[in-house]
């Protein structure tokens, strides 16, 4: 495969394919395993991820790349094959989460707002990850809607860190996934779709301004934003068509057409909603960028349930994963249909 940033970025958003985010930190994967009463050991985490990466047809047809966590990029399958080699054999590009988490932003909003850390030593870590096979990376910034939030201080600090991260990635020959996430699970009851549109537009403008200042090559990156959607606690929910149209409107106003692709996070939407929204957006058509998925929860939740931590359920887990991968692959082409969910 070509090693040019532009080619890698385009391959990540190839037609009908998207990204499997499997970069849950040890803390997050423990929470997910708790729900199926499974102790989060190194072997359990390996078995779970090995099950996903060995879903060969799903990986080949619908998954362009996988975002890994530090432990996983170094881990071997039960038979000793590096997990990275398994996904590469299926034609998927290995990626790596490189931020070290969202930490309270010092100041008056420290109880609500965070700034994502991980810039110290990042140049050296990227060189190491490149040797381990990573050709793209991810950094997630978190923006929270609440009374008086987000503050400009928070938007600016996170946008600046994203740009410094993206520039370091490109220097290392690694495509940055730039992920500014406006959370949909805030406490704020007035957090309707208009508020999400306003904050998402503000955030994306700040991010692209910082990317420009840092001289990031937009053709060699992928944007991973939230969809424009009402907060989960808001009584006024928007229709799926509204979510699709409002999201496209904000993206058209803020994302230069030189960016090859946009791969959404699912953010707590139901599996089917995340798929439907993506499909409706692609059905609008005439877009300057590829629009696809980079989901954790909306790709994995069903597979995790079906597996339940039991080796006898590996095939069932893989079937559940393959189904969601196929549904989202179709959504990336604007060709998903609810009937396909029922048929399965």
Footprint of ligand 13P (CB under 6 A): 21, 140, 179, 265-267, 295-298
Cβ contact 280:6 at 8 Å: no
Q: CA angle, corner 210, sides to 197 and 23, nearest 5?
A: 70
Question: Residue 176: phi, psi to the nearest 5?
Answer: -85, 130
The one catalytic residue among 24, 179, 195, 276? 179
For ligand 13P, the closer CB: 277 or 297:
297
Distance in Å, CB of 279 to ligand 13P, minimum: 16
Distance in Å, CB of 307 to ligand 13P, minimum: 17
For ligand 13P, the closer CB: 167 or 296:
296
Distance in Å, CB of 80 to ligand 13P, minimum: 29
Q: Which two tokens stand for residue 309?
A: 């931590």
Q: CA angle, corner 111, sides to 214 and 168, nearest 5?
A: 20
339 contact partners, CB below 8 Å, separation of at least 6: none
Catalytic status, residue 339: no
Distance in Å, CB of 333 to ligand 13P, minimum: 20
Closest alpha carbon to 184 in 117, 266, 99: 266
Separation of alpha carbons 247 and 242, rounded Å: 8
For ligand 13P, the closer CB: 280 or 343:
280
The one catalytic residue among 50, 138, 224, 276? 224
Separation of alpha carbons 87 and 136, rounded Å: 14
* Lookup result for tokens 């000793």: 80
Closest alpha carbon to 299 in 23, 39, 13: 23
For ligand 13P, the closer CB: 54 or 140:
140
For ligand 13P, the closer CB: 59 or 137:
137
Q: How far is CA 203 from the centre of its chain?
A: 17
Closest alpha carbon to 307 in 37, 48, 63: 48
Burial class (CB within 10 angstroms; exposed 0-12, middle 13-18, buried 19+) of 165:
buried
Cβ contact 321:312 at 8 Å: no
Catalytic status, residue 171: no
Phi-psi region of 113 (alpha: psi -120 to 50; beta: other; left: phi over 0): beta
Distance in Å, CB of 181 to ligand 13P, minimum: 7
For ligand 13P, the closer CB: 290 or 296:
296
Distance in Å, CB of 292 to ligand 13P, minimum: 12
Q: Which residues are catalytic?
A: 179, 224
């Amino acid at each position: 495969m070509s090693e040019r940033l532009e080619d890698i970025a385009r391959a990540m958003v190839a037609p009908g394919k998207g990204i499997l985010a499997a970069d849950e930190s040890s803390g997050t994967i423990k929470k997910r395993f708790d729900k199926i009463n499974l102790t989060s050991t190194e072997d359990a985490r390996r078995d779970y991820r090995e099950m996903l990466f060995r879903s060969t047809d799903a990986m080949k047809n619908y998954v362009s790349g996988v975002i890994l966590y530090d432990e996983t990029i170094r881990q071997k399958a039960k038979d000793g094959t590096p997990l990275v080699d398994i996904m590469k054999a299926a034609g998927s590009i290995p990626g790596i989460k490189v931020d070290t988490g969202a930490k309270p932003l010092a100041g008056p909003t420290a109880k609500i707002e965070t700034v994502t850390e991980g810039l110290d030593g990042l140049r050296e870590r990227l060189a190491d990850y490149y040797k381990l096979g990573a050709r793209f990376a991810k950094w997630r910034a978190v923006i929270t809607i609440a009374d008086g939030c987000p503050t400009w201080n928070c938007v600016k600090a996170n946008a600046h860190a994203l740009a410094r991260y993206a520039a370091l990635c490109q220097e290392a020959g690694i495509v940055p996934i730039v992920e500014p996430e406006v959370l949909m699970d805030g406490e704020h009851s007035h957090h309707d779709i208009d508020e999400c549109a306003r904050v998402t537009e503000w955030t994306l403008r700040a991010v692209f301004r910082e990317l420009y200042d840092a001289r990031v090559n937009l053709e060699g990156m992928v944007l991973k934003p939230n969809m424009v959607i009402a907060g989960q606690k808001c009584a006024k929910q928007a229709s799926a068509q509204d979510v699709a149209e409002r999201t496209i409107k904000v993206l058209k106003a803020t994302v230069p057409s030189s960016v090859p692709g946009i791969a959404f996070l699912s953010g707590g939407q139901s599996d089917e909603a995340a798929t439907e929204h993506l499909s409706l957006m692609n059905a609008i058509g005439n877009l300057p960028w590829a629009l696809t998925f980079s989901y954790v929860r909306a790709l994995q939740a069903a597979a995790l349930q079906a597996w339940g931590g039991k080796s006898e359920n590996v095939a069932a887990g893989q079937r559940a994963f393959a189904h969601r991968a196929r549904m989202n692959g179709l959504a990336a082409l604007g060709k998903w249909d609810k009937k396909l969910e029922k048929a399965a």
